[in-house]
Chain A
Amino acid sequence: MIKNNFFSWIFLILSSLLLLFILAPLTGMILRTGGSELFETVKDKEVQQSIWLTLWVSFAATFFFAFLAIPLAWILARKSFPLKSIVQGIIDLPVVLPHTAAGIAVLGFISRDGFLGKAADIVGLSLINNPAGIAFAMAFVSVPFLINSARDGFASVPERLEKAALTLGAGRPRVFFTISLPLAWRSIMTGFVMMFARGMSEFGAVVIVAYHPMIAPVLIYERFSSFGLKYARPASVLFILVALALFIFLRLLSLNKKETVASEDAQT
């Protein structure tokens, strides 16, 4: 009993140190930022635009890539095929790449010489220094989070539920939309929020693809390198507060959505 208590105390102390390591810099930054500075930053049009750009581009990248990521996640969870482990490795590759290297890779792909850049050029669109290019850079480094989380969600849905639905006369699409997707919904939403958050915080890849228009992480870096820590801090605090509020909102929305899906299916 005493040993158990001692063991628990050691773990508690180690855990607290880690939490302190995460919270201390954030708290310090918030405490060192004066109310008037923060208020001035809220009114700053450039900051407002960069935060708004970051949010909507990251959200759009997550939303559109979800249409590709969710089917891939389902295939990975349900099907066996040759070289499946290699495909899984490819999906995880962007997570382990240095982000500047990822940015260079994306730049090569979306520049006028690249495959996507040429295609965009045909319709008169340049992806460099464009929100679309930023979205590609964000998606490149963050889409593994959505794929992996959704894949785990689909894998946790008992296959016999899908089989039961098939024997009850449902076609494959109906089984997917009424059984697999609702039951994997929580994991998919977790992956969605993770991808959105990861995309929003991306700096290395985005700064190579598009310095302008400036997303919040680039703006914070620019203020830091041009004016110093004091000027970068209020923008950082504001960005963190907005991001936090948004995640809480998305979390609540994902929980409500799960209940809604359940009740819609329950009705005739």
Chain B
Amino acid sequence: MLRLKNINKRLGSFALKEINLEIPEGEYFVLLGRSGSGKTQLLELIAGLSSPDSGEIWVNGRNVTRDKIQERKTGLLFQDYAVFPNMTVFGNIAYPLHSKKLSRDLIVRQVNAIAGEMNIKGILDRYPHNLSGGELQRVALARTLVNSPSLLLLDEPMASVDASLKDDIRRNLRQLNRKGLTIIHVTHDYREAISLAGRVGVIHNGHIIQTGTPQAVFSKPANKFVARYAGIRNFFRVRFRLTSEGWKAFCDGTIVFSLSGNHYPDEGLLILKSDDISLSESRPQNCTENCFSGTVTEIMPCEFGMELTVDAGEIFYADLPANEFRQLNVEEGSEVWISFPGEAPVALPGSG
């Protein structure tokens, strides 16, 4: 479907470097990256709004690198929707159809059909300044889809809408993908990626660091940047040693992690997901390894409950669901025990 081969593009002091990506037909691919990472520039290259300095872009087996924008059959939905303010909703949706020089009747029929699908038939004669964020988003999507793109490019489609509309948008996008539309969606929010993506890619400083299923990328991040992106906050610089009791990771001599894996480098970074950590007021029974006592230094509400910061010689961040937190009955300054299974700590490859 889409194939990017060794794409390079310099934009002032920033550059997209050696971008290689293959996206099969019907896939929902989410490209994750911070602002300034190059994800929007990559979308614009695919759409044809700019040309790469080197490399090739293939769509449906055809090299479109030097093709005009109008010939690429890609639809691009901009972050703030870019709905034309000088036209009504009808005028906006009809805009791409005028370029095809269709008859007036056909244009009216096609606009009405897509407006019905997107549930915006009642606002066809309104101007954009009278529309809500959700309506603008649907108008922009209808305007893009009426052009029957074979590839839909979405630039942060949920960045400008409030939380209550995000579910609707997610539902719409999933439906479109289920109907067979290939979607490339760029975002800075890894939760968006988890909820929508068949596959994700992480882009940083103009370079795609890792691609794979969301589960693969977030459970085995390629480096610290990807791990941070996945919301992981527990990082420990350690020395790995094989002892008579198996593999251990020594962290500045204060904390010793017991590991369940087989091969480790001499030293490197160890990561631990916040929700893999359990907390208890007393030492857990039969716990001989990976349990440490510490002091709660901070308690903060988080999306799924509470995040506790525990100083156990090293700083640990643990996420607890609200009901578990209530049962635990701790406050800042309380002594607690943290524990986690041997398979929870993961060594970051290439961090040695």
Contact = CB atoms under 8 A, between A and B. Distances in A.
B96 A169 contact: yes
A167 B49 contact: yes
Interface in B66-119: 69-70, 74-76, 78, 80, 82, 84-88, 90-91, 94-96, 98-100, 104, 107-108, 111
Contact of A261 (B49, B76, B86, B90): B86
**A interface residue count range (under 10 / 10 to 19 / 20 to 34 / 35 or more):** 20 to 34
Interface string B25-52: 0000000000000000000100111000
Interface string A171-207: 1001000110011000000000000000000000000
Contacts of A161: 82, 84-85
Interface-central residue, A163, A167, A265, by most chain B CB under 10 Å? A167
Contacts of A261: 86
B87 A265 contact: yes
Contacts of B95: 165, 168, 170, 178
A166 B44 CA distance: 11
B106 to A, nearest CB: 10
A176 B220 CA distance: 49
B99 A168 contact: yes
A171 B98 CA distance: 11
Nearest to B99: A169
A164 interface: yes
Interface size class of B (residues with CB under 8 A): 20 to 34
A163 B82 contact: yes
B130 to A, nearest CB: 13
B99 A170 contact: yes
Contact of A166 (B69, B107, B111): B69
A153 B148 CA distance: 33
B274 interface: no
B188 to A, nearest CB: 18
A268 B104 contact: yes
Contacts of A182: 86
A169 B94 CA distance: 11
A168 B87 contact: no
